[in-house]
Amino acid sequence: MDQLGRTSETPKSPWGGCPPAMPSCSLSDVMSQELARQLEEENKAFPSLTNPEVSLLSGEETDTNSDLMLARLLQMQYDRECDTQLRREERKYNGESKVSISFENYRTAHPYDGSESSEDEVDWQDTRDDPYKPDKPQVTPRKGFTGKGKNITTKHDEVLCGRKNTARMDNFAPEVLVGDGLGMDLKLSNQVFNSLKQHCHSEQRRSARLHDKKEHSTAEQAVDPRTRLLMYKMVSAGTLERINGCISTGKESVVFHANGGMLEEQPVPEEVVLKVFKTTLNEFKNRDRYIKDDYRFKDRFSKLNPRKIIRLWAEKEMHNLARMKKAGIPCPEVALLRKHILVLSFIGKDHVPAPKLKDTMLGAADMKTAYYQVLQMMQQLYQECNLVHADLSEYNMLWHQGQVWLIDVSQSVEPSHPHGLQFLFRDCTNVSTFFQKRGVAEAMSVYELFNCVTGLDLTINEEDEAEFLAQIEALEKRNEDHVQKRGKKTFPLSSWDGSPPLKHAADD
Ligand code: ADP
Ligand code: MG
């Protein structure tokens, strides 16, 4: 025990025993030449400690005494496994979907990934995942050869290198089909191997670039990460069985084909489309007048942020389709609405969407039938559904099972909308022009069609479109005045005989 009462024993620490103290050395020891030599010898036992990567990657026997080296080896192994797992998950996640998510950014960048081999020299450092295991050639020592005399084998031995190169092809990206070169003892010269490797590298870079562009462009077309998540959730919840390819990418929406699953124990149709309204905000502004002035949405419009307004488009299409369905107009049926994604029944069969009317090559009889169907649908839409399509043309009419189907009604408005009749006039212009061009002799002029659809009796002067438009604007103005006087609700224009409106819609 010393003067302070401590025993000579090492005190017991609650965290375990202390390591034994280093033996002390005197000044004369430090200055000893003998000790200096001994330390030098010890250092030689760790030749590559200063640059562990050199020995690690050159294929030499690695010195496992080095903690740093071991750590790096483990890290490499770990990274490799993570990358393999990531690739697997990426493939599983994307399946055959056209919209794919790249996990590439989560991959670990290895120092050897960037190694560019020279024209004729194989990158000997690239020994990762060397599958040449069954009869792996003995490690070529630093001196570059093994054996003696005639049996000498250098690291440039053609057969050995050839086999090794063939085996290395297995390390090419998974999408590169390399065949079974090992099985048939294929020997690839360094030159061939290097060119192949170069080719694969550039192919990978090219496909990464393409993928990148695709990602970017799809995002531009509304399938942003949030939307993808929504779509993914529909699949994982079983509402959709799977989402297939993209049918159409328009300015305001992207349409996907999908297979329906179950929703609240009810089957979703076998084939459906997902109409994804664009969430990029540059386009919708052009369209806000369709919704801003639609009294059904007016109150809500002013309070909403742009993202939510886009949801209104989807909601608007859903309501309009419901009205059409009720009136018996052939149109898609709404299966589900989730934010800005509308799931609709598919018009078409076996993944093939019905053609747009503009793309059909109908005979004269079918074209005439189509015309009369369109005429009837326009009347029903106006008179029974109290709607004007507002984007009616051969692009938004599909030909399926011998009849015309109306689609794309997100912008449709009630006739009492401040510009409703002008929209209808435009619809009539498109329809008349199309059918007249396609040789339907019975096709009415735009003015006749307008009167026929609305039941109004506006004066027609074929030569004077402005005159006709003036009548339409006058009607709209009177309606607008009426709305201002009497509140939000409007009267149905279709029942107006031309006299000043007296009745409120709610009174009807
Ligand atoms: P957009 O506002 O982008 O024009 P649409 O509703 O017109 O949106 O859809 C774009 C295209 O997608 C259509 O021209 C049509 O080819 C296809 N499509 C849309 N809905 C369906 C559907 N229910 N069934 C089959 N194809 C559809
Ligand atoms: Mg359309």
Pocket residue to mutate for ligand 1, from 408, 409, 411, most atoms within 8 A of Cβ: 408
Determine the Cα–Cα distance for residues 428 and 431; give it in Å rounded to an integer: 5
Model pLDDT, residue 4: 44
- Distance of CA 274 from the midpoint of ligand 1 (Å): 9
Task: Look up residue 352 and give its DSSP letter.
Answer: E
- Active-site pick, 391, 464, 507, 508: 391
Residue 250 CB–ligand 1 contact under 6 Å:
yes
**Residue among 500, 499, 504 nearest 486 (CA):** 504
Model pLDDT, residue 147: 66
Task: Look up residue 444 and give its DSSP letter.
Answer: P
Model pLDDT, residue 50: 36
Question: Do residues 344 and 419 touch, judged by C-beta distance below 8 A?
Answer: no
Q: How many residues does the chain have?
A: 508
Determine the Cα–Cα distance for residues 501 and 289; give it in Å rounded to an integer: 24
Q: What are phi and psi of 94, to 5 degrees?
A: -80, -30
Q: What angle do CA 390, 396, 401 make, to 5 degrees?
A: 135
Cβ-based neighbour number of residue 417 at 10 Å: 28
Determine the Cα–Cα distance for residues 107 and 39; give it in Å rounded to an integer: 42
Tell me the sheet residues that pair with 341. 276, 338
Is residue 126 part of the annotated active site? The answer reads: no
Determine the Cα–Cα distance for residues 104 and 228; give it in Å rounded to an integer: 18
Rounded mean pLDDT for each run of 10 residues along the chain, 508 residues in total = 46 49 49 58 46 38 55 73 83 80 68 35 33 43 61 68 77 66 76 80 67 48 80 96 92 92 95 88 55 64 68 93 98 96 97 97 97 98 97 97 97 93 97 98 98 97 93 91 68 39 30
Residue 297 CB–ligand 1 contact under 6 Å:
no
Residue 469 CB–ligand 1 contact under 6 Å:
no
**Residue among 387, 225, 322, 388 nearest 314 (CA):** 322
Residue 269 CB–ligand 1 contact under 6 Å:
no
Q: What are phi and psi of 252, to 5 degrees?
A: -110, -15
Pocket residue to mutate for ligand 1, from 221, 244, 246, 248, most atoms within 8 A of Cβ: 248
Distance from chain centroid for Cα 507? 50
- Distance of CA 407 from the midpoint of ligand 1 (Å): 7
Report which bound ligand comes closest to the CA of 248.
1
Residue 266, burial from CB neighbour count under 10 angstroms (0-12, 13-18, 19+): exposed
Determine the Cα–Cα distance for residues 103 and 327; give it in Å rounded to an integer: 48
Q: What are phi and psi of 241, to 5 degrees?
A: -75, -50
pLDDT in tens, 379-402: 999 999 999 999 999 999 999 999
Looking at ligand 1, which residue's alpha carbon is closest to its atom 18?
A: 255
Residue 317 CB–ligand 1 contact under 6 Å:
no
Is 8 strand, coil or helix?
Answer: coil
pLDDT in tens, 137-179: 444 555 556 666 666 656 567 787 788 778 777 666 665 667 7
Residue 335 CB–ligand 1 contact under 6 Å:
no
Atom of ligand 1 nearest to the CA of 344: 23
